[in-house]
Structure 1
Amino acid sequence: MARLPTGNGAFVPYAGVLRALLIPFGLLVSGGVALAHGVAEGDKGYIQEISGVHLVSFVYLGAKHMVTGYDHLLFLAGVIFFLYRVKDIGLYVSLFALGHSTTMLLGVYYEIGINAYLIDAIIGLSVVYKALDNLGAFQRWFGVQPNTKAATLIFGLFHGFGLATKIQDYDVARDGLVPNLLAFNVGVELGQLLALGAILIVMGFWRRSGGFFRHAYAANVAMMAAGFTLVGMQLTGFLVVK
């Protein structure tokens, strides 16, 4: 996987830094001021009133959650930032999907309870990790390079537990639980594909411009800052909300 040079790199104009900052922080702000991208009250009320198999509803909810999940989108953007070949993008996205699908299904089915703020803080750290990896920080600081495929899968597992905590907020009926969970997972994957397609289109235009590598450093620093912001928000929520 390509990374930025571990040296000083090229000069990044101030205007370029500002443009790069808008991408991750725009995603963060668009998620709202809530400490975690939780469950909409209307959706929660609907799910609590129904039982049995409702495949279309859960596909919709899964897609909606992924498309509005700014922390998941930031991590995905970091993962594909320097990926150019379709097969590489497919491999990393598949590893991420395998991870979050596994823990999401098992977490809900076996009612594994993890504090939503703590798991979302770990998800925020995954964004920080990916930005640092793109910057070549691990090679520069420690002289080692983490296995990026293993890291994507492992962080996918944590993202899945984040999804599981949100689904458990719905108080889903046990009647029809497995088909509904599978439908939710299908929706998550559809939402991920839609979001990934949009990110790739934007990245494609940006990569063809002359400023991609000049601004890539600033974009990843901004992504790292957004990740630390997510971590701070979630830890604050953990300490404040009882």
Structure 2
Amino acid sequence: MSPRVRRAVVLVTAALIVFLGVGQPASAHGFTSTAYVHVTGGERGQIRTRLELEYDLLVVSAADAEGDDPLFQAGTAAFEDGDADEQAAALDAHRKAAVGYVTKRFSVMSKGAPCKPAQAGDFTMGWQEGVPYTVLTLDWDCSRGDSHEVRSELFPGTEGYVRDTKTIVTYELEGVSGSAALDAAHPSFSISQSWFERFWEFFRLGAEHLLTGIDHILFLLALIVGSRRLREIVLAATSFTLAHSVTFMLAALGVVDVPGRVVEPVIALSIAVVAGWYLWRIWRRGDHATDLVAAGRGHFSLDRAGWVRLGVVFCFGLVHGLGFAGALGIDAAWSWTLLWSLLVFNVGIEAVQLGIIAVVFPLLVLVRRRAPRAGLWVSGVICAGVSVMGLLWCVQRLLES
């Protein structure tokens, strides 16, 4: 088969991969919301919850669920004006609908019985994730006993406004402090849960995020396919891990705040660049491209191109870290309790990343050593498809921003 025919096969196969992948969402993190809740104890069995909720989402959800069209009109007008006082006043004027919506979907239980909520003070406004958030403080009468449980089903996907909502809970109650992440699959937790249960919640959340984030998986796949030796992929993966851990934690500390409309297109571009890097090397060498595979059996050393690749991977890893933080809506001031949970979230990401490398890379090495030319074209086809999909997503995300 001539080089021209082989290149045509690569392009056709890449086009097929793109065709099959265009049904995937352009953004792995879009159309979600994050609610923040802080739970503290009071006297005589009182529990106080401070909820921070996305303002416009609360307005449309509460107006729709409670049948309060005046809330929708006043709330959306205040949102468009961007006046925080006007926004808070709109909710205060329609507090029955707004508070009613929240208390039907968020609750505190004591020994299996629901605690009675009451609003403490007026609505106030703040900012999270670059958009206005409203603050609602509720006092719960839990005088029946302890063994408290928190449940959140705020802004479910069935309402049609967001795909999913995560509720990040931090608490200082019953002599213990900690944090939990609630979502549709895991809507409740007990304050008295064990440290292992708290660890597992955020570990699971991190693992699920990488497994369901096709853009991050494709980036990792491009790194694996573009590596000739185990040490090369280990270096690349380590560079990526260090970089995204840095920005993930800086975002958690509130030091870095980059809008998603900037982060998401760059993540897509990173997929195209890393995959295209290896594809370009194959294309440039033509019939001698199998040297790339054969070289993997000899002595390992990084040439200048290898160091440049590591630098590129590190830089893009910094951006992916902001994407991971964005998955939890993290760009606010931190607490030690929440920071520990975020570290566990990051461990969940790394566990899945290592698992993918452990499965994919040995299979790729086996194909390359048994049939070097076939291994080369398998790598080329994968990289071509991944690169084109990355470019497509980048354009889509730019158009959506």
**TM-score interval for Structure 1 and Structure 2 normalised by the shorter chain:** 0.7 to 0.9
TM-score for the superposition, normalised by structure 1: 0.76
For residues 92 and 15 of structure 1, the distance between their equivalents in structure 2, rounded to whole angstroms, comes to: 29
Letter matched to residue 320 of structure 2: H
Cα pair distance change 1:21/1:172, threshold 3 Å: farther
Matched ranges for 1:129-148 at <5 A: 129-136=273-280, 145=305, 147-148=308-309
Report how far residue 58 of structure 1 moved: 0.7
Show the 5 A alignment for 1:163-182: 163-168=324-329, 174=335, 176-182=337-343
- CA 1:88–1:34 in structure 2 vs 1: closer, same or farther (change >3 Å)? closer
What's the CA shift string for 1:188-216, capped at 9, x where partnerless?
11121123234325534653455332344
Q: Does 1:161 align with 2:322?
A: yes
Residues 28-107 of structure 1: pairs in structure 2 closer than 5 A = 29=23, 32-33=24-25, 35-38=27-30, 39=32, 45=165, 47-49=167-169, 51=171, 52-53=178-179, 54-107=198-251
Pair 1:12 & 2:6 matched: yes
8 A contact 1:47–1:170 mirrored in 2: no
Q: Deviations over 1:128-154 (max 9, x none)?
A: 2112211236x96xxx95711111111
> How is 1:183-198 mapped onto 2 (pairs within 5 angstroms)?
183-198=344-359
How many Å separate the matches in 2 of 1:10 and 1:181?
Answer: 50
Following superposition, the deviation at residue 162 of structure 1 comes to 1.1
| Secondary structure, counterpart of 1:117 in structure 2 | helix
* Paired residue secondary structure (1:158): helix
Classify 1:153/1:93 alpha carbon distance in 2 versus 1 (closer, same or farther; 3 Å): same
Alignment size in residue pairs = 225
Taking the aligned partners of 1:186 and 1:28, their CA distance within structure 2 comes to 30
**Structure 2 residue runs without a partner (length 5+):** 34-155, 158-162, 172-177, 180-197, 285-303
- Give the direction of change, closer, same or farther, for the CA distance of 1:163–1:135 in structure 2 (3 Å limit): same
2:266 counterpart of 1:115: no
Q: 1: distance between equivalents of 2:256 and 2:247?
A: 9
Tell me, yes or no, if the aligned pair for 2:241 and 2:350 is still in contact at 8 Å: yes
In 2, Cα distance between the equivalents of 1:24 and 1:217?
A: 14
Deviation for aligned residue 1:93: 0.5
In 2, Cα distance between equivalents of 1:170 and 1:46 = 15
C-alpha distance 216-187 of structure 1, shift in aligned 2 (>3 A): closer
Picking from 384, 388, 393, the partner of 1:221 is: 384
Change (3 A) 1:34 1:71: closer
2:184 matched residue in structure 1: none
Distance 1:73 1:22, change over 3 A: farther
Q: Report the structure, 1 or 2, having the larger helix content.
A: 1
In structure 2, what residue type is equivalent to 1:47? T
- Normalising by structure 2, report the TM-score: 0.48
Task: Extract unaligned runs of 5+ from structure 1.
Answer: 1-7
Between Structure 1 and Structure 2, which shows a larger proportion of strand residues? Answer: 2
